[in-house]
Structure 1
Amino acid sequence: MPEISNFFGIRITMYYDEHRPPHFHADYNGKKAEIDIRTCRVIVGALPSKQLKLVTAWALIHQEELMQNWNKIEKAEGNLKKIEPLR
């Protein structure tokens, strides 16, 4: 499970063997959520409110890069690109 970003204790990952819709995983202190890249909404799981707001803001900023990584996964094109964390 490649880590593509990490900020404020939130780990963002994408898996190579994934299912649709296009999404990424966010982990924070044992809480986990899958976030739809297109809508930036939680598909499965939950995060604390503050961390979810941070993840949502980050995803909106980096939506295009997230989709590029998703396309790499679907085409099995190799390494995923790291994405700049929130600062």
Structure 2
Amino acid sequence: MVTMFRGPRWKIAVYGRDHGVPHFHIEGPDFRCSVAIATFELIVGTVPTAVLKDALEWAGPNQALLMQTWQELNG
């Protein structure tokens, strides 16, 4: 697992040996979700709207880095 970004009480992480479409996780103390890297669509799980907004603000300009990291860990 690689933590890509940390928010105030949440983080964006990419896991190795993960399945499905390339995705990242947004995790906090009371929530966890998976988001597709290519489309930024929520795949599964829950996340507060404000956290999703903040996470996607970081993910947008870092989409290539997220994909590269996912491929390195799951290639």
Q: With structure 2 as the length reference, what TM-score do the two structures score?
A: 0.88
**Greater share of helix:** 2
Report if aligned partners of 2:35, 2:42 keep a CA contact under 8 Å in 1: yes
User: What amino acid is aligned across from residue 14 of structure 1 in structure 2?
Assistant: V
Q: Which runs of 4+ in 1 moved over 6 A?
A: none
Identity of aligned residues (%): 31
User: What amino acid is aligned across from residue 49 of structure 1 in structure 2?
Assistant: T
**Counterparts of 1:4 and 1:59, CA distance in 2:** 9
Equivalent residue runs for 1:1-87 within 5 Å: 1-75=1-75
**Counterparts of 1:70 and 1:46, CA distance in 2:** 21
**Greater share of strand:** 2
User: What amino acid is aligned across from residue 17 of structure 1 in structure 2?
Assistant: R
5+ long unaligned stretches in structure 1: 76-87
**Counterparts of 2:34 and 2:49, CA distance in 1:** 15
**Counterparts of 1:37 and 1:10, CA distance in 2:** 18
Count of aligned pairs: 75
5+ long unaligned stretches in structure 2: none
**Counterparts of 1:62 and 1:37, CA distance in 2:** 10
**Counterparts of 1:47 and 1:40, CA distance in 2:** 13
Q: With structure 1 as the length reference, what TM-score do the two structures score?
A: 0.77
